[in-house]
Amino acid sequence: MAAAEADRTGWLRVTQVRSAIGTKPKHRGTLRALGLRGIGRSNVLPDRPEIRGMLARVPHLVDVTPATEDEKG
């Protein structure tokens, strides 16, 4: 993705709020792909369809909020 295209998309702050212990292996893999490794950990990700699809797989494990301008960098 070009840098100009990334500037036009929004950003999401994704925080893991529940443990991955006892979840399906695909759910654990999705959390790792989102860059989350434990409860309370957060990551700022671009608001793209691929990311939204991953978040749709694990909505019970994460909290999603819009990211501020300061968090993008």
Closest-CA residue to 63 (of 26, 1, 17): 17
Q: Which domains can be identified in the chain, with CATH numbers? A: 3-71 (3.30.1390.20)
Buried-exposed string 17-33: b where 16+ CB fall within 10 A, e elsewhere: eeebeebeeeeeebbee
Lookup: tokens for 35: 């860059």
9-24: pLDDT as tens digits: 699 999 999 999 999 9
Q: Is the pTM of the predicted complex or chain greater than 0.75?
A: yes
**5 or 68, higher pLDDT:** 68
Whether residue 70 has pLDDT greater than 60: yes
Higher pLDDT, 5 or 58: 58
